[in-house]
Structure 1
Amino acid sequence: MKKVWIHMGYPKCFSTSLQKAFFEKHPEITYGGMGVGDHLSYANNGLEFVFQSLLQHANKPFFDRNSKEAKNIVDEFVNSTNQITVFSLETLVFPFSSLDFETITERIKLLFEGYEIHILLVIREQLGFLKSLYGEFLRMGYPETFSNFIQWVWSYRDRNFWELLNYPQVYDFLKQSFGDTNIHLQFFETWKSNPEIEINESISQLLGITNKNLPIWNDNPSLTKQEQANLLHVNQEFRRGMGEHVLFPYLNHLNRTSLERLESGYSSEEIFENILTKRLALNKMRRIPQQPFEDFYKLRAPSDDIIKRMQQEWKITNQQLMDELGTIPKVYLS
């Protein structure tokens, strides 16, 4: 049975570096995407449709009508090579869609039926992850303070990504779905000390390929506190992306292939409007006077109490992960 590797996430855990600096560049990998040639593209439009529409967003009737074609697209690509086949999309485990993680997992199993599926999962200590994710939300137009963000995560945990921060729960679910030995967990903190050495060594060993000591770079560095403070000010003054109405997706550029298939009539400028406005906002962020940032992550009530309750829960679940794996970075238990 042919082996297929799928890097599912998490976001803000070297995902862009893996895609652009490793998977795309390694000569022993046949890489399907995303990030083939640019930051958005796949090896072909069919695969982009599979990953960006069918796996993440399509409702059941639309998925069912297109699943046979999608299976053929996957089979044609995987069987076109004798090399290791890799796909990567960091929002498969952390979906920005109406579909839950369990539904996405079932669709992966269906479209990759007949292959030995191996899952690469990179996790990050939860509070550090939320701070980095908040910065990414600011890029996408989020107009609320970090305090309000934390309160939202806690208050709407019945419907948002909160459960995905329970790492042993996610890990065990994936093992049940794909097999105990097919889930490969890596830690952001281990790689962070020396990404070039750690990523080359660990991923080459996992995939059973030659360590080429590829240069590892970061095309998407996190914003500084100063930049985040300015961008928050811009977002509050100039509504865009996440600050717009809920009916228009703030990641609409990722829907470009499905919009073309659906004969949407949207122009290229309309599809990429969120990218254009993000660039304008980032430029404005750099030009305006520096906004206060010394206490940028300081939490006010009730978020200051909420974060303590979050950390209590994470300490319990991270201990469960420690018991299961035998060792994890100390920051997960502190």
Structure 2
Amino acid sequence: MKKISTLARSLYHLNLRKIFSHFGIHKILKEHLAKEQSSVTKLSKPIKPRKTEKAIRYIHIGYPKSASTALQRGFFGRHQQLLHLGCGNDSVKGYWDDHGYIDKHVNMALEIDLRFKNDLSYDQAQVKGIFENYFLQSDSNKMVSAVGISNENICFNWHGGIDTTTKAKRLFGIFESGTKILMVVRRQTDLIRSLYKETVRFGYNGSFDDYLKYIWQYQDRNFLSDLNYDRVFNLYAHLFGRENIKVFFFEEMRENSKQFLKRISNELELDDRITHVESEYNEQLTDRELAIKLELNRRFPHSFESGFLHPFDTHRFIPYYTDFLREPRVDNEHYIDYHFRNSLCDLSKKLAPILDIDDINLSWESNYGGLIKDLLNASNQNFKTLTGDSLLEKYNYLSL
């Protein structure tokens, strides 16, 4: 009976191997397992003590739509030689936090004090004290090579708040000279397209031409000046020292993520335990689904179309309501809007195979598109003069 049982098991496993082989499943599982084991090996490598007396301080200033979420969740928040304060810190917290900060005080510092508070309400000493505790903690632990933050809204202002220069000055008051500034840029035409898609996903009901017109006509109060990379580079170089401003390219990450991450690791004196991050952390709608979402936005106003007093990204700073304002809870309206927006995105996906509708129009062939490109081409030429970086030519920044 034992021999029969053994034979039956052998035949069972043999048949499974044949089935797996026939459909290519065995190869897929083998490759997945190898990749998983490689990742585990990398992350579990012994950590060597840092060579410097103090931990390096760093600020990843963005840009948005330039792999910021991928870097936050896949690199900064996972690297064991970093004390990463957020975004992307997935440690357990006592409050709802979907962007990942090490504690609620850092959350409010980065999402409120460094984004929205005017000079009359901003308390530099109080905010600096929050970070000083972590700087001291890092300096006293030789296993921490670097300590810092990542927030794509630092160098960018696309829905209200204080200007980019004020943010930079406040950050200098906290982190001080010698801090490494990591500036990840993307071809502005591609970045603006991606921003428009995000804006439609969050309720905007205008066409791409309307969006370009808004960017050009209201450049005195929107984010267009933030896309002058030469100006942002000079701003941070003046404060933190030109030698500490490190420029990286989104296009390079797409082309060779291993080399891209190695460059960041070298700047922060980290080992190469992380050589790959997922490129898509935020699920996007297709161009067809976006066309449907745009139509739904026009019929059912929400988020960006809800009115001036409605902050659309409330989910980023829950502690502001519960701790600073001492509200018992966030208003129901915020939760309703959040879930209504997501439901309309899901509906767009369901309707895509059914409706007869063209993809959303993302053409730059308009008068305002030409004006914006001329402005940014000139900025990029100056950026090339400042940095001498040949990748600006390789990735076509000089002829948008």
The question of a shared fold, defined as TM-score above 0.5 by the shorter chain, is answered with yes
From 259, 263, 280, the equivalent of 1:202 is 263
Cα deviations across residues 14-36 of structure 1 (Å, max 9, x unaligned)?
00010000011111111101122
The yes-or-no answer on 1:110 pairing with 2:173 is yes
1:26 equivalent among 67, 76, 79: 79
Q: Distance in 2 between matches of 1:241 and 1:286?
A: 19
Q: In structure 2, what residue type is equivalent to 1:211?
A: D
Deviates more, 1:37-46 or 1:7-16: 37-46
Offset, 1:213: 3.4
Q: Which amino acid aligns with 2:344?
A: A
Question: Pairwise CA RMSD of aligned residues?
Answer: 1.9
Letter in 2 for 1:253: H
Instruction: Describe the superposition over 1:296-334 as per-residue Cα deviations: whole angstroms up to 9, x where unpaired.
Output: 1246xxx71111122222222211112222222341122
* Partner in structure 2 of residue 16 of structure 1: 69
Contact 1:52 1:255 in 2 (8 A): yes
- Classify the secondary structure of the residue corresponding to 2:85: strand
Q: Is residue 257 from structure 1 mapped to residue 343 from structure 2 by the alignment?
A: no
Residue aligning to 1:153? 215
In structure 1, what is the Cα distance between the partners aligned to 2:151 and 2:211? 24
Report the Cα distance in structure 1 between the residues aligned to 2:335 and 2:89, rounded to whole angstroms.
18
Deviation at 1:203, TM superposition (A): 1.3
Residue 163 of structure 1 aligns to which amino acid in structure 2? S
1 CA distance for matches of 2:259 and 2:299?
Answer: 42
Whole-Å separation in 1 of the counterparts to 2:186 and 2:84: 25
Whichever residue aligns with residue 331 of structure 1, its letter is N
Whole-Å Cα distance in 1 between the matches of residues 356 and 236 of structure 2? Answer: 43
Going from structure 1 to structure 2, the CA distance change for 1:100 and 1:145 (only over 3 Å counts) comes to: same
In 1, Cα distance between the equivalents of 2:355 and 2:98? Answer: 30
| Deviation (angstroms), 1:234 | 1.6
Residue identity in the other structure for 1:80: Q
Letter in 1 for 2:135: V
- One of 52, 55, 58 as aligned partner of 1:5: 58
Q: Provide the residue aligned with 2:111 in structure 1.
A: 52
Structure 2: how far apart are the matches of 1:86 and 1:142?
Answer: 33
**Residues 110 and 247 from structure 1, CA distance in 2 versus in 1: closer, same or farther, beyond 3 angstroms?**
same
Q: Aligned AA for 2:170?
A: R
- What is residue 91 of structure 1 aligned with on the other side? 153
Residues 271, 40 of structure 1: CA spacing in aligned structure 2 closer, same or farther, 3 A cutoff?
Answer: farther
Tell me how far 1:269 sits from its aligned partner: 4.3
1:249-288 paired onto structure 2 within 5 Å: 249-260=311-322, 261-267=324-330, 269-288=332-351
Contact 1:233 1:291 in 2 (8 A): no
Distance 1:291 1:207 in 2: 51
Q: CA separation in 1, counterparts of 2:232 and 2:357?
A: 38
Distance in 1, matches of 2:226 and 2:287, equals: 26
Unaligned residue ranges in structure 2 (runs of 5+) = 1-53, 91-96
Query: Under a length normalisation based on structure 2, what TM-score does the superposition of the two structures give?
Result: 0.77
Structure showing greater Rg = 2
